[in-house]
Structures are given as structure tokens and as C-alpha cells.
Amino acid sequence: MGFLANLFSSKKSGKKPPIANRPKPQVKRELVKKEVATHELKLGMTVIELDRPWTDLPVMFQELTISKKEEITLLQQYCQNVFIDYESFKLHQEEQIKALRKNIRYKHKVRKAETVSKDIKQELPKAKKAFDKSNKHIHEVMSQVQKDGSIDIDSSKQIVSECVASILNEPSAMFWMTKIKDQDEYTAEHCLRVGILAIAFGRHLQLTKQDLELLGLCGMLHDVGKMKIPNSILNKEGPLTDEEFEIVKEHTVLGYVFLSEHGGIAEQVCTAAYNHHESLVGDGYPRKLDAAYLSLFDRIIAIVDSYDAMTSDRCYRKGMSADKATSILYKETKHRYDEYLVKEFIKMVGVYPVGSFVQLNNGFFAIVLSANPDSKLNPVVEIIADANQTPLKRKIAVDLSKGKKYQGVELKISKSVSDNELEIDMNHFIQEHIAA
């Protein structure tokens, strides 16, 4: 008896049809209410209950799916706390992130492969000028935050715009600038580097120029709250006590409060300061938020902030090499960091990031000038010191993908070298290249 005959026979006899042919029952989604403060409201949230009667508000219905910032402002005027349909919001956020990733993958697919055709030296003077101007400005910002003054947000936006222009023209030049570090000025320069790296990462993700400028501002201002933490704790050389660490963690809240009360600063920038130490599984600080509350900008700043912190010297430890830092980021995916974004960040910085130091198989030391897209393990480098770290009078640029030999041995990279292993004044080094 064939399949159709069997099916007809089962219907005639009153037997139920095979499971595969039965219509799937409609599963009703469970309503999960979650209380949030009105300053935490986001677009896409559905408000289902207030801390006062709905009739107190000038709205038509006793439920509101937020689609405009004006609706958030209205709720903040009347309420301190509201209840949202949490599962609905979570699904909304997940769909937004998925759509963004799909768009990024598509743009990467259709974009022609980038070549190293541009001369980095042409962009270096512009990048250095933008960096020096930004460095001076970020120190002024930090000084104003420390004394609870007013920051020049328009100047901040202009400076970020100049950094965006340089990175869009030739990102390698600005990567060099992130190697200029002063341990005694860590917080200010860290903010500047995070801003630059965030813009470069956003460029890699094919974000719009407007988003790059907003993302750069998120990076530049993400740690302003640290200026409210006592220096005796912030610059302590030994390990922090539990009580001291709790005080340090307050910098996220203090930064958010300062930025949000300042005026003229986009909510995404304020939120990045608040959320850059949260994790995807809800065990971060200060609020133990889960992934649904973390925007794309929050997730990007979390990754870039950690990367720069790990590769920089601190008062209590030396910085690590770039490859070790990216390895740690990858191990923390699905827990603290967004896995997709970490993988894309590693693709951007590469195995040997531009501006990083390496040691060759002949013992000599070199700096990475640019990447070879088709040969990631063999970038273009400039040999700067011998095996004893004695600077070379004449520095030699070598494309390792061309199989160049030295004393009969084909040159290859032996290992990555952290910034502190070589006594190189990057500021002086860059000036030499500009003058050459």
C-alpha cells in the first residue's frame, strides 16, 4: 500500500496522520515583565506597565512600543520606573544585531580586496597632526572632568572627525600613532587610542562615516569616569584590595552620570561609558546586564578597550604582545565578548598589527609597516635594530612575502615583541619618517 493510500486509510479509520504531516501547534510566547528605570529605556522596548496609572500620561493605549526618542522623553517626564516586555525586546535586539552582521558580511563580499598601494608616508604628517591635536584635547577634557568642569564637546567632535578622515584615507598611519604611549598619562592616552582603534574597527566593519564619528567619540570618552577615582587607587602599583576594586568599578557609573548630565552628548556615548565592562552572560559591572541591553557600540568599545589595556604598560604590570592579547580576547568570546566582533577585530589587526614590533629569524628587530592581504604571516617590515637592539643607522624596508634573503637565509618573523621589550621612542621614530 502506497503512502497516499496509507494516509487516506488512516483518515477513514479515524487514526491520526503521521507526525510529519500534522500542523504544528501555535506556541504562545510567555510574557516576561522586567522593571527598568526610565533612563535605561531604548528604542524597540514595549512598555506594558508604569509606576503610575496610564491615564496620567497623554497616550492613547495602555501599552507602548517605543519607536521614537520623543516617547522615551515623555516617559521620563512622568515616570521613574516602568515594566517592559523583556522577551520581546530581547528578540528585537537579536534581530537588529543579525541584520547588521548580514549587512557587514555582504559589504565585505562585494568590496574589492584592499591593496597596500598607498604610501603610508604621505598620510603620516596628517595623521601625526591629528593625533597631536587630539592628544592635547583629551588631556584638557580629563582635566575638566576631574574638576567637574565643562568639556568642549564640539571640539571633541571636530577632532574625532579629523581622525576619521585620516583613517578612511590610510588607516595604517593612525595605527602607528597608537604606539605612542606614556605610562604616566595612561588614562588620557588610553582613551585616545581606544577612540582611534574603534574608528579603524568600524571602518573594517563598513560602518557609515556618521557612525564612525559617533563610535570614535564613544572611545574617546568611555573612561572619563576614572578621573573621579582617587589617584592613590588608580595608580597603585600593587594588587587592589576588594574594597579598592569596588571603588574603581564606580568609574563606569561616574562617567555615565557626568556625560549624561553634561548636555549635547549622544546617548550612545553615555551608554558606552556605562556598559564597556558588562559581559554577554550578565556577570559584568556595574549592573550585570545581559546581552540584550548591549548595543553594537557597547560591544565594540568593550573589545577595543580590553585590547589596548592588555597591550599597554600599566603601573602594576608590563603590556603584552598583540598576538597574546588577541588570543585572550578569543578565549573570552561567548562569555564576555561578542564572538563575531572579536573574530572581525582579529581579522582587522592581523597576526602582526601595523606598528607592532617583531623579531626576525636572524635575530634582528623590525616594525610592521603594512600587511600583505594574501600573505598574512609575511607583512612589509622595516628592520630597525640588530640582535643586540642597537639601532641601525640605515633602516631597511623588506617585503617578507618576496622571499628576501640575508646572508643566505630567507627572512621570516620569529616572534612578536611587546612594546616594552624595545627601547624605541615611537614619537621620535615617526618624526624621522615624516622628515625622510
Q: What is the per-residue pLDDT across 140-192, written as a single tens digit (0 to 9) for each?
A: 999 999 999 999 999 999 999 999 999 998 888 898 898 888 777 889 999 99
- So what's the pLDDT on residue 119? 62
Average the pLDDT over 34-45 and give the result.
84
How many Å apart are CA 54 and CA 243, to the nearest integer? 43
* pLDDT for 131 beyond 90: yes
One-letter identity of residue 233: I
- So what's the pLDDT on residue 434? 81
How many Å apart are CA 364 and CA 298, to the nearest integer? 40
* pLDDT for 412 beyond 90: yes
* pLDDT for 112 beyond 60: no
Q: SS3 string of 281-350?
A: CCCCCCCCCCHHHCCHHHHHHHHHHHHHHHHCCECCECCCCHHHHHHHHHHCECCCECHHHHHHHHHHHC
Say what percent of the chain tops pLDDT 70: 88
Beta-carbon neighbour count of residue 135 at 10 Å?
Answer: 18
* pLDDT for 73 beyond 80: yes
CB 277 within 8 A of CB 270: no
Q: Which of 52-56, 121-125, 289-293 holds the top average pLDDT?
A: 52-56
- Residue 430 Cα to chain centre, angstroms: 26
pLDDT tens for residues 198-245? 999 999 998 999 999 999 999 999 999 999 999 999 988 888 999 999
Residue 111 banded pLDDT, cuts 50, 70, 90: very low
How many Å apart are CA 323 and CA 146, to the nearest integer? 35
Q: Residue holding cell 530581547? A: 90
Residue 292 banded pLDDT, cuts 50, 70, 90: confident
* pLDDT for 298 beyond 60: yes
* Mean pLDDT, rounded, of the chain: 85
One-letter identity of residue 236: K
CB 176 within 8 A of CB 127: yes
Average the pLDDT over 306-327 and give the result.
91
Angle between helices 267-275 and 209-221 (to 10 degrees): 50
Contacts 24+ apart (CB under 8 A), 101-105: 101/340, 103/206, 104/205, 104/206, 104/344
